[in-house]
Amino acid sequence: MTKRKLDPRLIPFVNYGLLFFFLATAGFSAVLAITLVYLFQDDANDLTRDHFTFQKRTFWIGIPVLLITVLSFRFGLPYMGYALGAALFFWSIGRSVVGANHLYRNRPYPTPESYLV
């Protein structure tokens, strides 16, 4: 009986799904995604290494913006909170969809260090 290896793209795909629901879970799915990135990045091949970098940047840029959004509601700035929340929503979904598309087509992410998509 031969042992079947997992597709190395599985963890990045799972992470893109977790990052897709970043705001719906108040950042908890993103914490799970970043944990998986740090656990599996050492064994990453050339294809998935760029995706892991892209996912780390999505987390580390998104979490402070989420905190600022929550604090803006707390301190009576709802319009700022709504604007930041909407921007973060579209930004995180856009990054997740575009990253998953590159991964699905077996392409490394072209600009993993970027701030936008």
Q: Encode pLDDT of 77-92 as tens digits.
A: 999 999 999 999 999 9
Locate tokens 């959004």: which residue?
Answer: 69
Name the token pair of 39. Answer: 């656990």
Domain boundaries, the chain: 10-104
Cβ-in-10-Å burial (0-12, 13-18, 19+) of 108 comes to middle
CA dist 62 and 89 (Å) reads 10
How much is the pLDDT for 11?
Answer: 93
How much is the pLDDT for 23?
Answer: 84
pLDDT in tens, the chain (117 residues): 677 778 889 999 999 999 999 888 888 999 999 999 999 999 889 899 999 999 999 999 998 999 999 999 999 999 999 999 999 999 999 999 999 999 999 999 999 999 988
At 54 the three-state DSSP class reads helix
